[in-house]
Chain A
Amino acid sequence: MTIAASTELICFLILGAVVVLGSIGVVLLTNIVYSAFLLGGVFMAVAGLYLLLNASFVAAAQVLVYVGAVNVLILFAIMLVNKKEELKPIKGLQLRKILSGAICLGLLSLLIRVDFTTPWNLPGPKAIGEDATERIGEHLFTDYLLPFELASVLLLMAMIGAIVLARRDVLIQDLDTEKAIDLPIIENGKEPLLIDKTSP
């Protein structure tokens, strides 16, 4: 085994360990802030896997979009809703966890069996290597032009939808009462609409 191949193998093993252990931590840790930072680590490791697969453009997009945008957005959401609350105990929660764990292990064994028994058409054609970015650009502006334009429309819709959903109604109140309303970001003093008031 050449030194390049063994380096690649070692990189893959380290990145794979980071991905698996990090995602287990994301799911199992009780402190959600630690989970969010571990999620950023998992995203970075996945970007490293993309680099191993010779996909530098997608690796850069992964770092920019996932680590730079999605993870920061998740951290903002955690800070906005980070209230210490005691979760009500629920009957059969432990049983539910064990049952769903068994089902997930079954799904995992099924997937791994498919991975190893399917006769993949290997070795395939030679990988493109460094020209991948140019080829992605060609694809995006020729045969994938319609999905590309639809993606821009989707992003616009998501942006407007997120603004409409997360907006406070303080501005309207302000104009009505002509009073400066100095309220925290989330708790806007309005009576919460959906709390069940019948239960004691």
Chain B
Amino acid sequence: MLNSPIDPIPLQAYLTLASLLFCIGVWGLINSRNAVRVLMSIELMLNAVNINLMAFSSFLDGDLIRGQVFAVFVITVAAAEAAVGLAILLSLYRNMITVDMESFNLLRW
């Protein structure tokens, strides 16, 4: 906000962008066959949620920018998730010699 009397970008624009990003992430999560791409889709979804948090923090929260603090925590958890997820992926690849999601059916009855 550049202290303009009328906001050039409404809150809804940010929310719509975040919705688009989230839905693309969900589609990629369901349809990817490469396990690394699944992790990338999860990162996309986390980023969409972060955009939402930041937009609410800037438009509705005023002095208490709680959304930004939450976004910092989400970034922390996302980094931890990426590290552990990729380690699991490496271990899985070492034992199965593939990264195809359709062949990871060890837990099926």
Our pick among A77, A104, A139 for the contact of B36 (Cβ within 8 Å) is A77
Contacts of A188 in B (CB 8 A): 94
Contacts of B9 in A (CB 8 A): 8-9, 12, 52
Q: CA separation between A107 and B22, bound complex, in Å? A: 10
Q: How many residues of A contact B (CB 8 A)?
A: 96
Residues 44-95 (chain A) with a chain B CB within 8 angstroms: 46, 49-50, 52-55, 57-58, 61-62, 65-66, 69-70, 73-74, 76-78, 80-81, 83, 85, 87-88, 90
Rounded to whole Å, the gap between the CB of B14 and the closest CB of chain A is 7
Contacts of A123 in B (CB 8 A): 7, 59
When the two chains form their complex, are residues A116 and B4 in contact, meaning their CB atoms are under 8 A apart?
Answer: no
Q: CA separation between A66 and B39, bound complex, in Å? A: 13
Q: CA separation between A70 and B87, bound complex, in Å? A: 13
Chain A's closest residue to B78 (CB) is A70
When the two chains form their complex, are residues A162 and B2 in contact, meaning their CB atoms are under 8 A apart?
Answer: no
Contacts of B103 in A (CB 8 A): 88
When the two chains form their complex, are residues B8 and A8 in contact, meaning their CB atoms are under 8 A apart?
Answer: yes
When the two chains form their complex, are residues B94 and A192 in contact, meaning their CB atoms are under 8 A apart?
Answer: yes
Contact string against A for B residues 73-107, beta-carbon threshold 8 Å, 1 for contact and 0 otherwise: 10111111111101111110111111110110010
